[in-house]
């Protein structure tokens, strides 16, 4: 049972805007009608009180939200990408390198999807009635996170098969796990929520592990427990029944773990065993519940601490639009907006290049290059697109 895992999350990329012009029967060249792309889907983290381990993940598993669809002709905007909703244990710790950690106790938009690309309608202006430019969608963001579950049950019910573990769990929590009078009804650990008006804790039924194969699987769970209830079945109140079980689990429990015996069918007179913290029978299960909530380390359920995770995008080199390498005589454009227009437009056409040139001019790009003394003939790179500085 895993309580720590590293996973990689990526939000969806925005869809590209479209370059298109109206084609009416009687109008030779209609105005621009290329729609916007759709925004990329967000990565949303959802806490779940019934989830306690991270077994359903493997290390470095990747999850990606949906990308926005590209825009189309006739003002058709692309569909927004689907959000990725990832369910994690309530109150788990989410560590992100170099950032504050989050304690996940409410639905959190963790990574915003990439912004949609604008279609060529948006580039129309009084001086440019035939815009050939569109914008590529913003890329999604990727983050590696380490998730640590803090929702692991601290109270376990152990005991022989058919000794009433499920019965006790159901009575204490109101849950409805299967109880039946044949052995090994419960095959896998089953957790439920134990609560009163102000406190909440998790309790887990651990299947009978008194054979070697199952012991390997289930005994390690006992180390995480603060309290262990031992169920005593019918006609088993003879001396040493509980002592035998205590001896079996002894090396596997933490030093300050409290052991409690519960006899379901009989009066529990309490075996003379100094390792047992308390003895109960089935008439006292309300008392058992209160005791459990007092001696474990419950979540106070009244006021979860408000927690707003503010996503701050990484802004690289905000002031400078590019970096220059004299060795290769290359200008590498860093400005996201410019890159997106370069990628979203067909720069093979001279007319498009001309319009793109105007955009660069307006942003003061060429001014900066001149000020920096970069000579003509340099290559300008917009990610994988190259133009010559003429």
Ligand X SMILES: Nc1nc2c(ncn2[C@@H]2O[C@H](COP(=O)(O)OP(=O)(O)OP(=O)(O)O)[C@@H](O)[C@H]2O)c(=O)[nH]1
Binding site for ligand X (CB under 6 A): 159, 161-167, 179-181, 183-186, 207-208, 231, 264-265, 282
The candidate with the shortest Cα–Cα distance to 63, out of 51, 46, 49, 80, is: 46
Binding residues for Mg ion restricted to 7-36, rule: CB under 5 A: none
> Which tokens sit at 153?
């049950």
- Binding at 382: pick from ligand X, Mg ion, none (beta carbon under 5-8 Å per type): none
Give the whole-angstrom CA distance, residue 199 versus residue 297: 9
Q: Which CB sits closer to Mg ion, 185 or 368?
A: 185
Contacts of 379 (CB under 8 A, 6+ apart): 328, 329, 330, 331, 386, 387, 388, 389
Shortest distance in whole angstroms from residue 179 CB to ligand X:
3
CB-CB contact of 336 with 343 (8 Å)? no
Q: Per CB under 5 A, does 301 bind Mg ion?
A: no
Shortest distance in whole angstroms from residue 219 CB to ligand X:
16
Q: Which CB sits closer to Mg ion, 165 or 226?
A: 165
Contacts of 235 (CB under 8 A, 6+ apart): 265, 266
**What angle do the packed helices 350-362 and 336-344 form, to 10 degrees?**
170
Shortest distance in whole angstroms from residue 64 CB to ligand X:
40
Shortest distance in whole angstroms from residue 272 CB to ligand X:
24
Q: Which CB sits closer to ligand X, 112 or 282?
A: 282
Q: Which CB sits closer to Mg ion, 171 or 332?
A: 171
Among 185, 273, 284, 301, binds Mg ion (CB under 5 A): 185
Q: How far is CA 129 from the centre of its chain?
A: 45
CB-CB contact of 192 with 203 (8 Å)? yes
Q: Per CB under 5 A, does 186 bind Mg ion?
A: yes
Stretch that binds Mg ion, among 75-83, 162-170, 318-326, 339-347 (CB under 5 A): 162-170
Q: Per CB under 5 A, does 163 bind Mg ion?
A: no
- Placement of tokens 């439920």 in the chain: 192
Q: Per CB under 5 A, does 166 bind Mg ion?
A: yes
| Interaction site with Mg ion (CB under 5 A) | 165-166, 185-186
């Amino acid at each position: 049972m895993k309580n720590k895992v590293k996973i990689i999350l990526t939000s969806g990329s925005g869809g590209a805007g479209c370059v298109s012009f109206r084609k009416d029967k009687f109008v030779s060249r209609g105005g621009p009608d290329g729609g916007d792309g759709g925004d990329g889907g967000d990565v949303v983290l959802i806490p779940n009180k019934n989830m306690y381990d991270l077994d359903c993940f493997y290390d470095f598993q990747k999850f990606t939200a949906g990308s926005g669809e590209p825009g189309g002709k006739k003002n058709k905007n692309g569909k927004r990408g689907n959000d990725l909703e990832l369910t994690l244990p309530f109150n788990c710790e989410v560590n992100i390198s170099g950032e504050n950690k989050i304690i996940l106790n409410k639905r959190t938009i963790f990574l915003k999807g990439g912004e949609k690309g604008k279609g060529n309608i948006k580039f129309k202006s009084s001086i440019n009635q035939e815009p050939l430019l569109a914008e590529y969608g913003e890329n999604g963001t990727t983050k590696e996170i380490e998730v640590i579950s803090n929702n692991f049950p601290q109270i376990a019910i152990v005991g022989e098969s058919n000794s009433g573990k499920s019965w006790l769990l159901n009575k204490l929590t109101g849950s409805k796990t299967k109880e039946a009078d044949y052995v090994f009804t419960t095959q896998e650990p089953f957790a439920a929520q134990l609560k009163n008006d102000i406190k909440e804790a998790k309790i887990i039924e651990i299947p009978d592990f008194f054979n070697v194969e199952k012991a390997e699987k289930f005994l390690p769970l006992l180390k995480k427990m603060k309290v262990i209830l031992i169920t005593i079945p019918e006609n088993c109140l003879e001396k040493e029944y509980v002592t035998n079980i205590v001896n079996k689990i002894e090396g596997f429990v933490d030093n300050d773990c409290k052991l409690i015996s519960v006899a379901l069918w009989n009066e529990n007179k309490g075996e003379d065993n100094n390792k047992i913290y308390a003895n109960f029978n089935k008439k006292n299960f309300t008392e058992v519940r209160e005791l459990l909530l007092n001696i474990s380390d419950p979540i106070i359920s009244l006021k979860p601490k408000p927690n707003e995770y503010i996503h701050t995008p990484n802004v690289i080199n905000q002031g400078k639009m590019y970096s220059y390498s004299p060795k290769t005589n290359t200008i590498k454009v860093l400005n996201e907006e410019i890159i997106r227009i370069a990628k979203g437009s067909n720069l093979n056409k001279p007319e498009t290049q001309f319009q793109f040139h105007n955009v660069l001019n307006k942003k003061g790009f060429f001014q900066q290059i001149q000020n920096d003394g970069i000579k003509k003939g340099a290559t300008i790179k917009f990610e994988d697109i190259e133009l010559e500085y003429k």
